[in-house]
Amino acid sequence: MNNRLWLVVPAAGQGRRMAADRPKQYLSLLDRPILAHTLARLHSAFPDARLVLCLDDDDRWFSPEWVPFTDWQRVTGGAERMESVFNALGAIDAGDDDLVLVHDVARPCVTCDDLLALHQATQQHASGALLAMPVADTMKRASAAGTSLHTEPREALWHALTPQGFRYRQLYQALDEARRRGTLLTDEASAVEALGEAPKLVPGRRDNLKVTHPDDLALAAAILTAQRDTLERSL
């Protein structure tokens, strides 16, 4: 297949749960911003892809030197992730069957193998695909008061990760329909599922961490260091 590949990275969020002096994508991780690590991982798997980076118009932290891609563009990010991705789709000259992979800027530990597996699955499945992992913990349904009501069967439950990949026209229509309904979604697969589609779940590594809370930085640093050491031993 000769479909062009577009990488959309929403990076307009403020990351308020980190309680930091800057958006979390610019926090230092092993002496580089999280954003720089994430873009480097994407580039290692897809050096010829077209990158679309969604940033806040008032972003004063971003530096183009962190972008390793030759073909990339900056677009205005929205207040919510869904808005950023929709803005990105509207800004590119993509064909209906071009492939679009959307990846969280705060997931710097995704591996090249997982990225390539997701890309292959997106090519093969008409409904698209997403990295995910089966739930391993016991899952509880909570009450509004924070008490445990009952245990949820976990056999069919998965954690949704990123990237998530779809054909351009399919994803654009799904997000446009969600906007028309006034539905706020936290991932692209939800929008596609609402159209009656069933994206493929691609098992991903458990170290594809999303940096969300302050203690996640130390964990991400440990993961990146372990991944680097493993790679060096294999060479």
Dump pLDDT digits (tens) for 79-110.
899 999 999 999 999 999 999 999 999 999 99
Confidence check: pLDDT of 2 > 70: no
Q: Model-level pTM?
A: 0.94
In the chain, the percentage of residues whose pLDDT exceeds 70 is: 97
Q: What is the pLDDT of residues 27-85, one digit of tens each?
A: 999 999 999 999 999 999 999 999 999 999 999 999 999 999 999 999 999 989 999 99
177: left (phi over 0), alpha (psi -120 to 50) or beta: alpha
Q: State the Cα–Cα distance between residues 43 and 106, nearest whole angstrom.
A: 15
pLDDT band at residue 203 using 50, 70 and 90 as cut-offs: very high
User: Domains, the chain, ranges and CATH?
Assistant: 5-140+153-234 (3.90.550.10)
